Amino acid sequence: MRSVIRGPSGEKVGNALDVPADPAYTSNGIPIPGMTIRWLVRGEDGAPTYAMRLFESAPGAEVEVHAHPWEHEIFVFRGSMTATVGSSSYELEEGDFIFIPPDVAHGFRAGSRGATFICTIPLRPTAQR
Amino acid sequence: MRSVIRGPSGEKVGNALDVPADPAYTSNGIPIPGMTIRWLVRGEDGAPTYAMRLFESAPGAEVEVHAHPWEHEIFVFRGSMTATVGSSSYELEEGDFIFIPPDVAHGFRAGSRGATFICTIPLRPTAQR
């Protein structure tokens, strides 16, 4: 499959690497050197609930620790990365996943081979207030 | 990483293949030969909005065409499969994704090497009624 298709029933289908890569930003709005984001599925595509993005990180690229009132569900497709969650850190490799609850501080640093990972987020805050 | 961990901030982390594999069922409640489901992240884990599952399919294993009032966002991790969506069908390989809107008929058939794919679903119906 070589292009991203919108089908007659509203489906969207394609190769993740054929979705345009945008710069990835920190929670302060600063571009992250060596990291891109591809929005595979988002609200504009008709997704009602959550979005699926593909991040690609060069070796050592880092998302600083931050928090927000919504969760992440992440799956590592290629490479490796260190995930910091609250006071813990985890080494993740291909086929690993992580759930980060709302409002929990978290950050990432790609390993020596870089990292490519799926990161999903809800379309609106979900924390119980 | 060799075991699935629940961390002190509510995070859940591990290798997808270390999550127990359950039989996968059709929409009629019949086990699907050659297909398993691993619930990586679900409501019981504290996920507020949507669940992430890993399906593993033997070559030719098939999910019959069905529909339900919620969407899927799918990412193919290994192998290949044919996705039928409404009146269209698509050949998916490693790194391909597909968004299937609520209420759209869809089915899957694993290719000759089988298929391993992430399939996410919201925790409750999302169709606009």
Q: What is the CATH number of the domain that holds A93?
A: 2.60.120.10
Q: Is B81 a domain residue? A: no
The closest of A59, A78, A70 to A16, measured between CA atoms, is A78
Q: Which residues of A touch B105 (CB under 8 A)?
A: 9
Query: How many whole angstroms separate alpha carbon B70 and alpha carbon B104?
Result: 9
Q: Sign of the C-alpha dihedral, residues B97, B102, B104, B109?
A: positive
Query: Which of A50, A83, A93 is opposite residue B49, by nearest beta carbon?
Result: A50
Q: Determine contact: A103 vs chain B, CB below 8 A.
A: no
pLDDT of residue A2: 65
| Number of structural domains chain A divides into | 1
Q: Is the pLDDT of residue A1 over 60?
A: no
- Side chain identity at residue A14, one-letter code: G
Compute the mean pLDDT over every residue in chain A, rounded to the nearest whole number: 95
Q: Determine contact: A58 vs chain B, CB below 8 A.
A: no
Q: Is A28 a domain residue? A: yes
Cβ–Cβ under 8 Å, residues B100 and B119: no
pLDDT of residue B2: 65
Lookup: tokens for A101: 């609850």
Domain range for A97 is: 5-122
Q: Is A67 a domain residue? A: yes
Instruction: Report the range of poorest mean pLDDT among A1-5, A15-19, A107-111.
Output: A1-5
ipTM of predicted assembly, 2 dp: 0.95
Query: Which of A71, A83, A91 is opposite residue B49, by nearest beta carbon?
Result: A71
pTM above 0.80, yes or no: yes
What number of residues does chain B have?
Answer: 129
Q: What is the DSSP letter of B21?
A: P
Q: What percent of chain B stands above pLDDT 90?
A: 91
- For B118, nearest residue in chain A (alpha carbons): A75
**Using DSSP, how many helices (H) and how many strands (E) does chain A show?**
0, 10
Place of tokens 């060799």: B2
Q: What is the DSSP letter of A26?
A: -
